[in-house]
Amino acid sequence: MKLLVCIKQVPDMESRFRPNSQGIWFDENDLAWRMNEYDEYAVEQAVQLREQVGDSAELTVLSIGPDRVVEAIKKSLAMGCDRAVHIRDDHAATKDPWQIASIIAAYAKGQGFDLIFTGMQSQDRGSAQVGVTLAEELGYACATTLVGFAYGDGTVTAKRELEGGIKGVVKLATPALVTCQLGLNVPRYPTLPNIMKAKKKEIEVIAVADLLTEQPLTATTSFHPPARKGGGVVLEGDVGVLVEQLVGILKDKTAVLR
């Protein structure tokens, strides 16, 4: 069984973001980087399946980006992926989801992956398009926003998160692709011995030019912080007046009281 998990390295979300010189994305200097949180759940689920299936399964982790993304790749290898593909691209951040999905599809086509895992979305761009687009390009069945996963006899049973706290269960025949929601599992810590073992695992490097044939379909034209809001509203008066004012605001401006 051939498994693939696609991961992205994103800035630490605690960072202070500044627009870059073109004003179309954030400035990448002085940022700390980590694995996209959604992808940690994808890696964990893929590793669990790899362990369930045993040595007849092979789990590849793939990431697109500059050399620094190897840090996220190595973390995945230490969590239990067998091998890695690094599609080296210094300009991955400016590619649109269509191009990213097409690059992965160009790699994955003909490789015979039975199951592909991705995060539901990235923490930085947040388009949630790469997974589903990749499934479409490969002609795979696809389920998104997984909060539960089981596999047996060529069938994936996926529990999906719907709106309003409702869950749905769908079954997919492989080959298939699933996108993983936060809370799907408990991602394991890479242990020190496994970090050491990961150093010996293969990381195949492919230049992005060898896989990229598509033009972007969308372009980001501006990146900016939200406009500064004015100061908050300070209510004044005795308790009765405060309560009346507060209830009025909750009724008029929120869905809390209707």
Partner 1 sequence: MNFELSQDHKVLQDAVRDFVEKEIKPLAVQIDEEHAIPDELVRKMGEMGFLGSYLPEEYGGAGLDMLSYAIVVEEVSKACGSSGVLVSAHTSLACGPIYTFGTEEQKKKWLPALNSGEIIGCFLLTEPDAGSDAGAIATTYRREGDEFVINGSKIFITNGGYRGTGVLFATSDKSLKHKGVSAFIIDLNSPGVEILKNEKKLGIRGSYTTAFALDNVRIPAENLLGQEGQGFKIAMDTLNGGRIGIASQALGIAEGAFERALAYSKERKQFGAPICDLQAIQFKLADMWARIETSKLMTYKAACLKDGKKNYTMESAMCKMLASEAATYVTREAIQIHGGYGFICDYEVERMYRDAKITEIYEGTNEVQRVVISKLLLS
Q: Which residues bind partner 1 (CB under 8 A)?
A: 34, 67-68, 70-71, 74-75, 78, 189-196, 198-199
Handedness of CA 243, 246, 251, 254 (dihedral sign): negative
CB 13 within 8 A of CB 68: no
Closest contact distance (angstroms) between CB of 197 and partner 1 is: 8
Closest contact distance (angstroms) between CB of 177 and partner 1 is: 27
d(CA 178, CA 175): 10
Closest contact distance (angstroms) between CB of 62 and partner 1 is: 17
CB 42 within 8 A of CB 76: no
Closest contact distance (angstroms) between CB of 136 and partner 1 is: 33
- Nearest CB to partner 1, comparing residues 72 and 106: 72
- Nearest CB to partner 1, comparing residues 2 and 34: 34
Which 3-state string (H, E, C) describes 85-150? EEEECCCHHHCCHHHHHHHHHHHHCCCCCCEEEEECCCCCCCCCCHHHHHHHHHCCEEEEEEEEEE
- Nearest CB to partner 1, comparing residues 175 and 187: 187
Closest contact distance (angstroms) between CB of 117 and partner 1 is: 20
CB 84 within 8 A of CB 73: yes
- Nearest CB to partner 1, comparing residues 83 and 159: 83
Token couple for 52:
């369930």
- Nearest CB to partner 1, comparing residues 141 and 182: 182
Closest contact distance (angstroms) between CB of 12 and partner 1 is: 10
Nearest to 8, CA basis, from 29, 40, 35: 35
State in Å, rounded, how far the first CA of the chain is from the last one.
53
Closest contact distance (angstroms) between CB of 196 and partner 1 is: 5
CB 169 within 8 A of CB 149: no
d(CA 172, CA 155): 6
- Nearest CB to partner 1, comparing residues 139 and 193: 193
- Nearest CB to partner 1, comparing residues 196 and 241: 196
Tokens 């394991």 locate to: 188
